[in-house]
Amino acid sequence: MASSDKEQWRRRTLDPALKARAQRRDEFVTDSGLEVDTAYADDDLSDGGFDHKQDLGNPGEYPFTRGVQPTMYRGRLWTMRQYSGYATAEESNRRYRYLLEQGQTGLSVAFDLPTQIGYDSDHPLARGEVGKVGVPICHLEDMETLLEGIPLDKVSTSMTINATASVLLCLYAAVAKKRGVPLSKISGTLQNDILKEYIARGTYIYPPKPSMRLVVDVFKYCSAHIPRWNTISVSGYHMREAGATAVQELAFTFANAIEYVQSAVDAGLDVDEFAGRVSFFFVSHNNIFEEAAKFRAARRMWAKIMKERFRAQNPRSMRLRFHTQTAGVTLTAQQPDNNVVRTTLQALAAVLGGTQSLHVNSRDEALSLPSEESVQISLRTQQILAHETGIADVVDPLGGSYYVEDLTRRLEEGAWEYIRRIDDMGGAVDSLEQGFQMGEIHQAAFQHQMEVESGRRTIVGVNKYKSEDAPTGGLLKVDEEAARQQTARLERVRGERDGAAASAALARLEEVARSDENTVEAILECVENYCTLGEICDVFRGVFGEQRELAGL
Amino acid sequence: MMAEAERIIRVLVAKPGLDGHDRGAKVIARALRDAGMEVVYTGIRQTPRMIVETALQEDVDVIGLSILSGAHMELFPEIILGLRENGMEDVLLVAGGIIPLEDHPELQEMGMRGIFGPGASTQDIVSFIRESVGARPVG
């Protein structure tokens, strides 16, 4: 083969230049450790077997590398969805209304840890945790308070909830029913991604198998009754935050997604009946081109998975729609205002990558929950990107970049390699039960830490360019009064409800849990009778058992 | 340094409360192990009582508590009280995670000797533990 143009350039111009003067580093790599060449050219694409039609296609067409819509943000901007919730339902409701007034276009509810792990606010294990990282929701009245004054047929609501996802969905649906809003009109997203909880986030309750059944029950129920609800948001975010590389984020997310789709198909659902409601959640990290390439690779991979592996027919099933959040782990406690710059660049990468919705982290989140002022800057960051920069005016502006196309391919290849390994282990559940994903993530996290400590990786303000900080003021603090109010209301609701009806609903739920009937209807009946989240989860704990931590150290 | 290395330092790395953010705890556990210490890692969702019991059973010199949920002002005092009740006030207590500065004085008064926030290096933590344990009378 004749030596390529790039090869000739290397010999003629680059090598002499390198002899005259060394580069800043011997080798350059992305955050995921992919080697980065000096410059990219046409040759890199042809060497990688790049096929314009097959690998890129057109916007809105298979394999959707360039975007799931033909017009993307020219038609409609991404949904600006800031994740929030804390203290009590009243307090969180105030924050939501404030955000909507400020131009936010969707809600994103953060629940506190007891709610996520199925404990009522007065449970002994909830001590100190009530209202801290999110809002406590124990029963229908809490949910009504949370959604007070919010038009459920107009605002879409995303709920970060997993082990208790179907309970929270039922609470939301019950509020809609009480207000006379048809379930066919409500829209939103449940995270409902239990597998990544075992791998990285930790809010599981039951063992994987019954948990998978609860996930599939939601798929079935929603496809029949709440058609506009995204029934799952398969999440790479938390695995990446736990230390995974971009390649691992893609691979472990899709390995989990494959497990969910397979379980639903095995349970008798037609793939095109539910796959259009499967959504995703990724992080946007610091390395701009790698991240933008990751989102593009993700779309291509999902399209192939659905078409080739699951034989989906409907293009809707093949379109990867995703939410993005900037990377919490990149926020520094030192010189926290610098975080505004970091999150802006991360948000830029998410938009260049074609996200459907976005949360921008706040500058003070390495120190505490964000203050209202910080949250406003986050929202304004999104609005500036949308309206002042022009990046929303062209679809896939990085498409065709030699570097980005090459990165897109290499990220995809790395991820397929992992997926093959996981398939060989029997799929995502089997491999996580052996601690495989956790081990890989821990290894990457440790390596990252060592690179920071050795100075191989620079973090401005942390291991370089340090300065004495004035302590940050104006941090948000959740006071203990919030927890007291919450438990007082819980006690009142338990006292006022029809006790016999609540007990009957719980007994019925147990019967359903022991059978193979769908659990969602029975949960709905429970919440409408003011059974609490803790009571409902206790029924499931009794039937399914509880999961212990799968991987130590 | 060599003199101190003769005695192997035993450390319990524990995650009190309900939060599952264990990246920091695991990285530190491994760094301490690599530095020659004996490390017991509890895993997530530990109650104060479980932590005190493990510390007793494992006869540790140091307890490192990692928490990011904001429940530290409820849970740390319970752990400290439990240690006192079991005559373990000698154990060196350190903490990490998201612990706002304004809480530091109260925690230090209760006996928390080191608080390491985001950005802390594992080498600093290793040195702190070595120096602090070395300075204590050995039982």
Whether B44 and A202 lie within 8 Å, measured CB to CB = yes
- What pLDDT was estimated at residue A312? 98
pLDDT interval class at B6 (50, 70, 90)? low
Residue A1 lies in a domain: no
pTM of the model: 0.95
Helices (H), chain B: 2-5, 23-34, 48-58, 72-85, 104-110, 122-135
Whether A243 and B23 lie within 8 Å, measured CB to CB = yes
Q: Are residues A138 and A258 in the same domain?
A: yes
pLDDT along chain A (553 residues), means of 10: 83 96 93 95 92 94 98 96 92 93 90 98 96 96 97 95 98 98 97 98 97 98 96 98 98 98 97 96 98 98 98 98 98 96 98 97 91 93 98 98 97 98 98 97 97 95 89 75 94 98 98 98 98 98 95 71
Q: Are residues A284 and A390 in the same domain?
A: yes
Longest dimension (CA), chain B: 39
Residue that the structure tokens 């409907």 belong to? A314
Q: Are residues A270 and A404 in the same domain?
A: yes
Q: Are residues A436 and A497 in the same domain?
A: no
Structure tokens at A218: 């939601």
Residue B129 lies in a domain: yes
Residue B138 lies in a domain: no
Residue A3 lies in a domain: no
Mean pLDDT of B4-32: 92
Q: Are residues A306 and A382 in the same domain?
A: yes
What dihedral do alpha carbons A9, A12, A13, A17 form, nearest 10°? 130
Beta-bridge partner residues of A157: A107, A188
Residue A469 lies in a domain: no
pLDDT interval class at B139 (50, 70, 90)? very low
Confirm if B28 and B125 have CB atoms less than 8 A apart.
yes
CATH code for the domain in which residue A71 is found = 3.20.20.240
Chain B nearest CA to A220, separation (Å): 29
Residue A4 lies in a domain: no
Q: Are residues A263 and A354 in the same domain?
A: yes
Residue B124 lies in a domain: yes
Which residues, at least 6 apart from A423, have a Cβ–Cβ distance to it below 8 Å? A255
Q: Are residues A450 and A488 in the same domain?
A: no
Q: pLDDT by residue (tens digit) across B55-114?
A: 999 999 999 999 999 999 999 999 999 999 999 999 999 999 999 989 999 999 999 999
Q: How is residue A531 annotated by DSSP?
A: -
Residue A9 lies in a domain: no
Q: Are residues A188 and A130 in the same domain?
A: yes
DSSP assignment of A179-195 equals TT--TTT--EEE----H
Q: How many domains does chain A have?
A: 2
Query: Quick one: closest CA in A to B117, which residue?
Result: A333
Residue-number span of the structural domain to which A525 is assigned: 482-544
Residue A460 lies in a domain: no
Structure tokens at A495: 């006292």
Structure tokens at A453: 């400590």
Of A332, A368, A452, the CB nearest to B100: A368
- What pLDDT was estimated at residue B136? 60
Q: In this structure, are strands A278-284 and B38-41 parallel, antiparallel, or unpaired?
A: unpaired
Return the closest-CA partner of residue A347 out of A380, A314, A308.
A380
CA distance A303 to A398: 20
CA distance A247 to A267: 30
Which residues, at least 6 apart from A46, have a Cβ–Cβ distance to it below 8 Å? none
Whether A128 and B73 lie within 8 Å, measured CB to CB = yes
Q: Are residues A448 and A486 in the same domain?
A: no
pLDDT interval class at B1 (50, 70, 90)? very low
CATH code for the domain in which residue B79 is found = 3.40.50.280
Q: Are residues A491 and A396 in the same domain?
A: no
Residue B100 lies in a domain: yes
CA distance B59 to B8: 12
Mean pLDDT of B26-42: 97
Residue B139 lies in a domain: no
Residues of B in contact with A203 (CB under 8 A): 18, 20
CA distance A29 to A525: 55
Confirm if B125 and B95 have CB atoms less than 8 A apart.
no
- What pLDDT was estimated at residue A1? 45
Residue A13 lies in a domain: no
Structure tokens at B33: 């192990």
Of B29, B69, B118, the CB nearest to A366: B118
Beta-bridge partner residues of A111: A135
Q: Are residues A371 and A502 in the same domain?
A: no
Given a cut of 60, whether residue B138 has pLDDT beyond it is no
Distances (CA, A) of A259 to A164, A266, A378, A428: 19, 10, 35, 6
Query: Quick one: closest CA in A to B69, which residue?
Result: A133
Residue-number span of the structural domain to which B114 is assigned: 2-133
DSSP assignment of B77-110 equals HHHHHHHHHTT-TTSEEEEEES--GGGHHHHHHH
Residues of A in contact with B70 (CB under 8 A): 128-129, 132-133, 368-369, 478
Percent of chain A as helix, strand, coil, to the nearest 5: 55, 10, 40
Q: Are residues A62 and A196 in the same domain?
A: yes
Chain B nearest CA to A314, separation (Å): 38
- What pLDDT was estimated at residue A75? 96
Helices (H), A427-479: 428-433, 436-454
Residue A215 lies in a domain: yes
Q: How many domains does chain B have?
A: 1
Whether B18 and A368 lie within 8 Å, measured CB to CB = no
Whether A459 and B123 lie within 8 Å, measured CB to CB = no
